[in-house]
Amino acid sequence: MANWRLNLKQFFQALCIALSALWRKLQRSRLRSDRLAKTCEKLQQQLANSPSREKAWKTYTEALSLAKNSDRTKLAQVILKFDPLFGEQGYSFSPAIGQALSFLLEAKPQTSQNLDAAWRIIHRLNEPSSVREIQQQICRQLGLIGDSNMLLAKLVKRRREDTLNVEELSQILSTFLEHHSFQLVAPWKAFLGQLQLKELPQIHQVYAILDRPIEASEIAEAVGDYRGVISYLKPLASREIEIAFRILTLSNQLGDEVAPRLISKSLRVFGRKIIL
């Protein structure tokens, strides 16, 4: 009986300690939220009433530090709301910028909002050499999560600013295509169609969306994607007998029973019939 009472007492003591810790944590969170709200309100007033941006900039970096100690969603919201109001003018560098950027890029799982906010504050760094590297990291993460529209916007901007080469584009598109595909609803074809031949990554899906099936099939075959080769060449099988035989050979190697029947119909156009 005594042991039972002792265990019950210890249980309630542990429960009280846990609840007290939770209460203190909630209180600290509320205080941080209140401080962030007041700082953002102060920043809004400074931006509206003062022609000078220096004081507002200092308040902005304070808001970044407070938001970082809250969560990534609040941090991204602060950046996307206030950073554009400072324009492209350079300001004194604050460690809060680098800390906010690292905090956003380390998010797992990653979100488009985090990456958009990170992109927004890249140009505030005092290390221009790092900007392109971080832009590449953001684009690859956008490719990973599959946000085509935002990714395309970043790629267009980088190409316009001449900060995107074919190797970087190839890395980004390879990351994207490992998990997603080019959808017709996104303007991938329009973007890729603007590139010169030397700018096109050697990725078969790129040539396929540009309606260049021969090149697409050659690249697919080079990387061992024989089913991709067949899918690209099937529409051409009735035009050239060599293509029809090529598809038939690959289909037999893969054990595909459907393609040979389709190809035999194409071969009849040339006056030949293959008994399968």
Domain-located, residue 112? no
Phi, psi (5° rounding) for residue 52? -85, 140
Report the pLDDT value the prediction gives residue 112, as an integer from 0 to 100.
94
Report the pLDDT value the prediction gives residue 88, as an integer from 0 to 100.
81
Domain-located, residue 236? yes
Of all residues in the chain, what percent carry a pLDDT higher than 70? 80
Q: Could you tell me which of 19, 39, 16 has the C-alpha nearest to residue 27? A: 19
Domain-located, residue 209? yes
pLDDT per residue over 139-192, tens digit each?
999 999 999 999 999 999 999 999 999 999 999 999 999 999 997 767 999 999
Q: Which two tokens stand for residue 134?
A: 């971080």
- Tell me which long-range contacts 114-122 makes (C-beta under 8 A, separation of at least 24): 114/72, 114/76, 115/141, 115/142, 115/147, 115/150, 116/76, 116/80, 116/150, 117/75, 117/76, 117/79, 117/80, 119/154, 120/79, 120/80, 120/83, 120/84, 121/79, 121/83, 121/97
Per DSSP, the three-state class of 180 is coil
Average pLDDT of the chain?
Answer: 84
Report the pLDDT value the prediction gives residue 76, as an integer from 0 to 100.
97
Total domains in the fold of the chain: 1
Domain-located, residue 248? yes
**pLDDT surpasses 50 at 273:** no
* pLDDT level of residue 274 (50, 70, 90 thresholds): very low
- Separation of first and last alpha carbons in the chain: 86
Domain-located, residue 134? no
Domain-located, residue 13? no
Question: Within 13 Å, how many C-alpha atoms sit on residue 27's CB side?
Answer: 6
Domain-located, residue 263? yes
C-alpha pair distances (Å), 90 with each of 54, 109, 122, 125: 10, 32, 12, 9
Distance from C-alpha of 262 to C-alpha of 202, rounded to nearest angstrom: 29
Q: Which range marks the domain in which residue 250 is found?
A: 202-276
**pLDDT surpasses 80 at 195:** yes
Residue whose token pair is 């007041």: 38
